[in-house]
Chain A
Amino acid sequence: EVQLVESGGGLVQPGGSLRLSCAASGFSFSSFWMHWVRQAPGKGLVWVSRIDSDGSYTNYADSVKGRFTISRDNAKNTVYLQMNSLRDEDTAVYYCARDLKVTNWIDSWGQGTLVTVSS
């Protein structure tokens, strides 16, 4: 069974930093692209970032480019999202998600971790 477990969320002040982690299990992690998707309270889904299977290629939403960095450690079956210069509008549940076989469709999701940016 595919499992994705996010951690690292919490309350942070504007301008601060946070690193999210996502521990994967139940599949061959090193073979799959991974994504982060966020959802502000009561709002819709917003794609944040994607990393390919060996970490060579990454993509970002314009709203986070230059502030967020996605990375992965295939030895630890973990994907990360380093978030710097956080803003109020970054407040959201952040979902770690698995790509459907190199397609940019998302076929498995974690339960999410809440990030709250507030002073």
Chain B
Amino acid sequence: EIVLTQSPATLSLSPGERATLSCRASQSISGYLGWYQQKRGQAPRLLIYDASNRATGIPARFSGSGSGTDFTLTISILEPEDFAVYYCQQRSQWPLTFGQGTRLEIK
């Protein structure tokens, strides 16, 4: 199965700053990577699919890039509501797999 490794495990930033989250795949997954946001006590929410496409209703400050094995989620200007856990997911191969998550916390 394809293993997704996210880094860093925890990212401490302040509102207004730029956040860069990484996801690395154990083998090439082309552009078949998505990103989800999960706030405490809530279900996840799809942010980005196919590496760079924003899901419906997702603000433009969220962007995704990458292909092959290395991918990035960027939040250009952090808003207070962006502090949450972020997961990447691949759909290149069965079984679908998620990364272990990056916790974005307020500094």
A residues neighboring B (CB under 8 Å): 35, 37, 44-47, 50, 59-62, 95, 100, 103-107, 109-112
Shortest distance from the beta carbon of A57 to any chain B beta carbon, whole Å? 11
Shortest distance from the beta carbon of A44 to any chain B beta carbon, whole Å? 5
> Interface SS of chain A: helix, strand, loop or mixed?
strand
Interface positions, chain B 78-107, Cβ under 8 Å from A, are: 87, 89, 91, 94-101
CA A103 to CA B56, docked complex, whole Å: 15
**Which of A44, A105, A111 neighbours the largest number of chain B CB atoms within 10 Å of its CB?**
A105
Instruction: List A contacts of B89 (CB < 8 A).
Output: 45, 47, 105-106
Closest residue on chain A to residue B87 by CB atoms: A45
Is residue B46 within 8 Å, beta carbon to beta carbon, of the partner chain?
yes
Instruction: List B contacts of A44 (CB < 8 A).
Output: 87, 98-101
